[in-house]
Amino acid sequence: MKKAIVEHDVVNSQGVLFAAKGESVNQQRLEDLLSRGEISFEEYVECNPNATEAEMAKAFISYSIGKTIPFAPETIKHEVMEILEQVSDENNVAEMVGCLERRSLWSYEHSMRVAIIAAAIGKKMNFSDDELIVAAEGSIVHDVGKIFFVNLVEKHGTLTQEEYKIIKEHTKAGYRFLKGAGFKEEVANIALLHHERRNGNGYWGLSDLPRTVEAVGIADSIDAMMAARPYKNGIDINKVIGQLTEEYRINNSYDPDMLIEARKLMLLP
Ligand SMILES: [Fe+2]
Ligand SMILES: [Fe+2]
């Protein structure tokens, strides 16, 4: 069993010394603590400075699952982990992840959380294995078109109307980019359609969406609303689900069954 030698004292968020400088920590224990949210991803990295890139990626997914869908049954968390690991191992996805990570760290982390929520919703909605892979892969690359608009994505401050109009193009740019990189039509379509709504109230007024697109659309809305950004505070998950449910009730924008499943995955019953 691989062990990590801690480079300096690591104190967890409750102020408890978790590992002292020079201590040897079993990697499995680190991963368990991480997946239960007892140490943060940064603490994991500090305790495990020699982790390979693959180990770090796995640890980041496990950590994000624990944080993102805390109330999902363990079986679902396990299955989501397997789907994400499988998808992240594909060469073309790994390349896109590297691209996102380098250009916009926020977009990378957002995309991984979207993949977790969308895959978990898909599991609860009995998606086929193919649909689950499409939803997870599509989530990871859904905002890849934003690499062409990094200045606007990372802008500190609200977007002007003109800038908002420009950034909407990330959907079409992402679709073209993914098609050029050899991604399947269903996956590229998630980049193109993730801001569309079933009532036609999305970016480009399209409706009649595949359910993989709807799952990613809900996951994307949830994460985007919850996230604190330089120009806005994050919204509490209770309020986010409340607002989306209200939006469904008034405008029929989202699949109501998917909203119910998202609520169960992310909120105490
Ligand atoms: Fe987007
Ligand atoms: Fe997004």
Q: What separation in Å is there between the alpha carbon of 31 and the centre of ligand 1?
A: 31
Ligand at shortest distance from the CA of 170: 1
The Cβ of residue 125 has, within 10 Å, a number of other Cβ atoms equal to 17
- What number is the average pLDDT over the span 233-255? 95
What pLDDT is attached to residue 2?
A: 67
What pLDDT is attached to residue 216?
A: 98
The pLDDT tens digits of the residues spanning 123-160 come to 999 999 999 999 999 999 999 999 898 888 878 888 89
Q: Given pLDDT bands bounded at 50, 70 and 90, which one contains residue 83?
A: very high
**Residue (of 152, 79, 87, 90) closest to 120 by Cα position:** 79
More confident call, 262 vs 63: 262
Domain boundaries, the chain: 1-51, 70-266
* 7 within 8 A of 21, measured Cβ to Cβ: yes
Q: What separation in Å is there between the alpha carbon of 7 and the centre of ligand 2?
A: 36
The pLDDT tens digits of the residues spanning 90-111 come to 888 888 888 888 888 888 889 9
What pLDDT is attached to residue 128?
A: 98
The Cβ of residue 179 has, within 10 Å, a number of other Cβ atoms equal to 16
pTM: 0.88
Q: Residues of the chain with pLDDT > 90: what percent?
A: 60
The pLDDT tens digits of the residues spanning 170-225 come to 999 999 999 999 999 999 999 999 999 999 999 999 999 999 999 999 999 999 99
What is the spatial distance between Cα 168 and Cα 239, in angstroms, rounded to a whole number? 25
What pLDDT is attached to residue 39?
A: 79
More confident call, 80 vs 39: 80
Q: What separation in Å is there between the alpha carbon of 142 and the centre of ligand 1?
A: 6
Q: What separation in Å is there between the alpha carbon of 143 and the centre of ligand 1?
A: 5
Please identify which residue in the block is written with the tokens 């959380």.
Answer: 113
What is the spatial distance between Cα 262 and Cα 269, in angstroms, rounded to a whole number? 12
- What number is the average pLDDT over the span 237-242? 96
Q: Which residues fall within 8 angstroms of residue 85, CB to CB, at 6 or more apart?
A: 58, 61
- Rounded to 5 degrees, φ, ψ at 7 are -80, -30
Q: Which fold has domain 70-266?
A: Hypothetical protein af1432 (1.10.3210)
Q: What separation in Å is there between the alpha carbon of 162 and the centre of ligand 2?
A: 19
